[in-house]
Structure 1
Amino acid sequence: MEAAAFLKGIGLGGSLIIAIGSQNAYLLKQALKREFVLTCIVICILCDVVLIAAGVAGMGTLIIEAPAILFWIKIAGAAFLFWYGVRAARSALHPSAMAAIDNNTAPNRKTVIVAMLAFSLLNPHVYLDTVVLLGSIGGQQNGNGRLYFALGAMLASTIWFSSLGLGARYLTPIFSRPAAWRILDGIIALVMWTLAISLFF
């Protein structure tokens, strides 16, 4: 029973987290630039662990019964995503401003931490996926199944973020060219704007 719940948590958690989103896009870009990669990975994992635990513990019901909470998260999240999309589009349009892997204009750790937290927590879809969906399914497990389901979902997040952050280094040869950064920033801008708009539909 526990093994089945654990595997269910890994499968469902993995399928939800792999989708392209603002959190994954920012982590990927930081990993390619090799700027505070471990810091970003740890933040992503910790945020998911806390949200999954909260969902399985029953916090999902609170979110469903208090739509005003999600509404204000949508407002803040949409504004942040739109702003970052503008930054990414500006970088895509000005290849001379592309950040080289070893440039001297890298942001400081505090800036990266704040941005990573914003991408992780200012997206209502994160709460719907982890707290509401995973929480409701995990809460249906019998006995210790709830714990093993949560652990499985947490492991899936840990594996994914670690693989994305540490595996991006193998793409470095591709992103040694400004054109590749132009394309990546263009895609990131579109992802951010699409997510910002989707929050209200």
Structure 2
Amino acid sequence: MTGAVAGPALAGFLTGLSLILAIGAQNAFVLRQGLIGRHVFWLCLLCAMSDAVLIALGVAGFGAVAALYPALPRIMALAGAAFLLVYGALRLRAAWQGGGAQMVAEGGRGLKGTLLVGLALTWLNPHVYLDTLALIGAVSTGFAEGAPRLAFGAGAVVSSFVFFFSLGFGARLLSPIMSRPGAWRIIDAGIGLVMWALAAGLLRGALAG
């Protein structure tokens, strides 16, 4: 019985990890909060729990939601692109003005603000729904209902927790680098450009659809 669930659990873990490893807006924000050491635990918990909810829905068979509401993907894409454009502009402005170092000195935004940004970067990102509801949900159908499929879903959920907490708390290893002058300008500029690139991709997809 152990082998019957160990294999699906490992498959779920590797599937979830392969989908989440790509550099995205959510990951970039977690990395940045980890670098400044502010509200890391709660942000990582929020992101991992959000993924857990979506993975559970996908494994439970709700991957057809987008098919039932054809306009939903486009609405989510436009909302996500708008948010990413604004947040990316803020990060690029911080890079220009050197605001990253100032944020570290001042302690950054509060817990509520941090979690609100984390929620927006998670739930306004259509790719999250593609990865969890659609892809993980689709892969889970390759396992028998019951314990094997539940084990697959659990493995995917564990991968999310492992990734976000490793990213958030592992970022502290970069603190010696971040103490160098100009380092925060590079980080903020990189994050801003990533945000804008993701927004452009969302807009292209929404307008093409």
Length-normalised TM-score, structure 1: 0.95
Query: What are the superposed Cα offsets for residues 73-124 of structure 1, whole Å, 9 maximum, x if unpaired?
Result: 11110000000000011011112x3335752252111111100001111100
1:106-145 residue pairs with structure 2 within 5 A? Answer: 106-143=108-145, 144-145=147-148
- Quote the residue 1:171 is aligned against: 174
Q: State the percentage of identical aligned residues.
A: 44
Deviation above 2 Å: which 4+ runs of structure 1? 97-102
Preserved contact between residue 58 and residue 134 of structure 2 (Cα < 8 Å): yes
Give the AA of the match of 2:175.
Answer: T
1:67 aligned counterpart, secondary structure = coil
Task: Name which of structure 1's ranges 132-141 and 58-67 shifts more when overlaid on structure 2.
Answer: 58-67
Checking the alignment, whether the CA contact within 8 Å between 2:38 and 2:107 is kept in structure 1 is no
Q: Could you say which residue in structure 1 is the equivalent of 2:65? A: 62
Aligned-residue offset at 1:126: 0.4
**Does the 8 Å contact 1:33/1:100 carry over to 2?**
no
In structure 1, the residue matched to 2:17 is: 14
Q: Secondary structure of the residue that 1:59 maps to in structure 2?
A: coil
Gaps of 5+ in 2: none
Partner of 2:198: 195
The alignment yields a C-alpha RMSD, in angstroms, of 1.3
The answer as to whether partners of 1:5 and 1:141 remain within 8 angstroms in 2 is yes
Q: How many residues are paired up?
A: 200
Q: How does 1:86-97 map to 2 (within 5 A)?
A: 86-95=89-98, 97=99
Flag structure 1 segments of 5+ consecutive residues without an equivalent: none
